[in-house]
Amino acid sequence: MVHPTHHFMNGLRELEIIFGRMLMLKETQERMLSLQRRWQSPEGQSILNQVVNALRSGQPWTVYLESLPDIEDVMNERDLRGASLSGLDLKGVDFTDVALEFVDLHGADLENADFRGSELNYANLSGANLTGANFENCLMVKADLTEANLSKTRLAGAALTGANLVRADFSGADLSNAVLFGANTKGTVFINANMENVSW
């Protein structure tokens, strides 16, 4: 017979786990809001407009970030965390080694964009055109790629742990050595994709 104290202790452990998850979720939401607020002031919007213009023309852009709060958190100062870039035409843009945590790229056209070495944890890429983009070795933990077009995209070695890949199209994409542990792949298309050594 199992002692009642055993059930009580198990119940306490479960409550601790639930409370811990709730606390982590709250901290994540607070961090996201804090990073997004940096871009919402008139100064932040002006900075972002200058950055977008520089990105599109292939010019240096970190010089515009000097007055951006919390820029010192990113070693190379390539900081676009929390920025709203949804719906923009950013074809072929160089996003290499950029901090893109919580960035909003929903519905953006990112065909052939280069994200190598970037961190896109919690990024919103839902509905984006990512055809031919390069995400090799990117951190994309909990990223939202719902209904994104990732055909012929390079994702070798990318970490998509817990990512939302619902109805995303990976046709002809290279996912070799990618980590998809805990990713939601309901309705995801992997036709002719290279899935060699994918970790589920």
**CATH number of the domain to which 185 belongs:** 2.160.20.80
Give the model confidence (pLDDT) of 105-151 as tens digits: 999 999 999 999 999 999 999 999 999 999 999 999 999 999 999 99
pTM score, whole prediction: 0.87
Same domain, 128 and 170: yes
Give the model confidence (pLDDT) of 57-109 as tens digits: 999 999 999 999 999 999 999 999 999 999 999 999 999 999 999 999 999 99
* pLDDT(4) > 60: no
DSSP string, 63-78: GGGTTSTTGGGSTT--
CA distance 116 to 154: 9
Beta-carbon contacts of residue 73 (< 8 Å; ≥ 6 apart): 79, 99
- 146 within domain boundaries: yes
Look at residue 19 in the predicted model and tell me its pLDDT.
54
Same domain, 36 and 127: no
Same domain, 173 and 146: yes
CA distance 191 to 170: 7
* Number of structural domains in the chain: 2
Give the model confidence (pLDDT) of 25-64 as tens digits: 778 889 899 999 999 999 999 999 999 999 999 999 999 9
- 169 within domain boundaries: yes
Look at residue 20 in the predicted model and tell me its pLDDT.
56
- Give the structural domain span for 188: 77-199
What value does the mean pLDDT of the chain take? Answer: 92
Same domain, 54 and 112: no
Same domain, 119 and 98: yes
* pLDDT(2) > 60: no
